[in-house]
């Protein structure tokens, strides 16, 4: 099926489920993208300056453009919306197209999160009927479970923040685990010297100011610092637990069982019910349904459910749909409060 006809058929499928069509701007402020993805992402965007000197760019992502619309129009309450258009992104692979045609659909501002997650996946599966394919896989993940695991582990606060913040940067995250194993960023000699200073400062006037901080503030900060997992054996064990968690991959109906078995093994105070997941079947039509704890590290803004649909057509495997929950994105773009949001997008080739 030609891409134009495919796009039109997907739009009809999405509309039939009660989503309202909206138009999105093609140009957005560059800082909205850089703030979310970091300065290193600049090499992937097409940016320019307007006559007032403001830096703008062609939208590399339709989800951010949609959330900006919700924020800037001061929309309140629930919206079921869908849109179509092109995203523009440079690639390090010259064979990749810089233009991506997409059809996206989202539910924003609704507190019925579990049913909304199911609705997004149902809409994706209904739209998938417009594709001609032999077989495929839908992979389900959930970033929230990883966040809960880290919150329950006996790790210093600053290490928890590091691991949570960089979960989506897989290579750097793995480097963090190595540092956690070896404590290579900690010099034991300096630690002992600091401990002696700490003991001496506890006997001084706590209101005394040193380098713009009171001694009391310095001691509180240092007290947190010396609670790092300094023994190599402890660091290795923590890293081992995290690595083992990220290896969990199973048929969808075994997800809760495998997770709870893991939590019990390491005495982590967590329990997951199978009803927590939007799908509990191992097979839907021609799709195998798989759960993976490591899945969901493609975009920083995902906060809960994540999924992708890959289909096999002739001899090719195509990643045709990606989606997930992004409850913090509108807040990060400037809202005064978090706004629940979940959505997905089809890539039209």
Q: Give the DSSP letter of residue 41.
A: G
The total domain count for the chain is 3
Residues of the chain above pLDDT 90, percent = 57
Coil/strand/helix, residue 68 = helix
Residues 123 and 141 in one domain: no
Give, in order, the Cα–Cα distances in Å from 112 to each of 78, 108, 272, 301, 325: 10, 10, 19, 20, 12
* Separation of alpha carbons 276 and 270, rounded Å: 13
Residues 99 and 178 in one domain: no
Residues 162 and 299 in one domain: yes
Q: Of 227, 254, 283, which marks where a domain is finished?
A: 227
CA 143 to chain centre: 6
With tokens 């997907």, the residue in question is 10
* Separation of alpha carbons 346 and 233, rounded Å: 46
Residues 151 and 18 in one domain: no
CATH number at residue 340: 3.30.930.10
Residues 212 and 284 in one domain: no
Residues 103 and 200 in one domain: no
Residues 241 and 289 in one domain: yes
Residues 143 and 239 in one domain: yes
Residue-level pLDDT, tens digit, the chain, 349 residues: 567 788 999 999 999 999 999 999 999 999 887 776 667 678 888 999 999 999 999 998 899 899 999 999 999 899 999 999 999 988 777 777 888 889 999 999 999 999 999 999 999 999 999 988 899 999 999 999 999 999 999 988 888 999 998 998 888 999 999 988 876 555 455 556 666 777 787 888 888 887 777 888 887 777 666 555 445 568 889 999 999 999 999 999 999 999 999 999 999 999 999 999 999 999 998 999 999 999 987 777 899 999 999 999 877 888 889 999 999 999 988 888 999 999 999 988 6
On the 0-12 / 13-18 / 19+ scale of CB atoms within 10 A, 44 is middle
Residues 288 and 348 in one domain: no
């Amino acid at each position: 099926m030609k891409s134009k006809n495919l796009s039109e058929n997907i739009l009809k499928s999405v509309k039939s489920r009660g989503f309202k069509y909206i138009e999105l701007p093609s140009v957005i402020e560059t800082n909205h993208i850089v703030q979310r993805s970091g300065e290193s992402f600049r090499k992937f965007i097409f940016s320019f300056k307007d006559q007032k000197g403001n830096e703008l760019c062609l939208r590399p992502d339709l989800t951010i453009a949609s959330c900006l619309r919700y924020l800037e129009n001061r929309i309140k309450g629930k919206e079921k919306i869908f849109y179509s258009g092109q995203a523009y992104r440079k690639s390090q692979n010259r064979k990749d197209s810089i233009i991506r045609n997409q059809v996206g659909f989202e539910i924003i501002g609704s507190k019925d999160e579990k049913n909304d997650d199911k609705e997004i996946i149902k809409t994706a599966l209904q739209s998938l009927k417009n594709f001609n394919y032999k077989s495929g896989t839908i992979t389900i993940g959930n970033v929230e479970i990883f966040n809960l695991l880290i919150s329950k582990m006996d790790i210093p606060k600053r290490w928890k923040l590091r691991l949570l913040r960089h979960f989506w940067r897989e290579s750097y995250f793995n480097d963090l685990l190595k540092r956690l194993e070896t404590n290579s960023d900690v010099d034991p000699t300096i630690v002992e010297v600091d401990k002696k200073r700490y003991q001496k400062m506890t006997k001084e006037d706590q209101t005394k100011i040193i380098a713009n901080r009171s001694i009391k503030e310095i001691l509180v900060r240092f007290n947190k610092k010396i609670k790092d997992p300094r023994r190599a054996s402890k660091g290795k064990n923590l890293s081992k637990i995290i690595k083992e968690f990220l290896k969990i991959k199973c048929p969808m109906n075994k997800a809760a069982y495998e997770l709870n078995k893991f939590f019990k093994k390491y005495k982590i105070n967590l329990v997951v019910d199978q009803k927590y997941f939007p799908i509990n079947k191992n097979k839907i039509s021609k799709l195998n349904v798989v759960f993976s704890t490591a899945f969901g590290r493609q975009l920083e803004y995902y906060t809960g459910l994540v999924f992708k649909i890959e289909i096999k057509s002739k001899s090719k495997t195509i990643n045709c749909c990606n989606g997930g929950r992004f409850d913090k994105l509108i807040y990060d773009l400037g809202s005064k409060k978090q706004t629940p949001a979940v959505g997905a997008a089809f890539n039209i080739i």
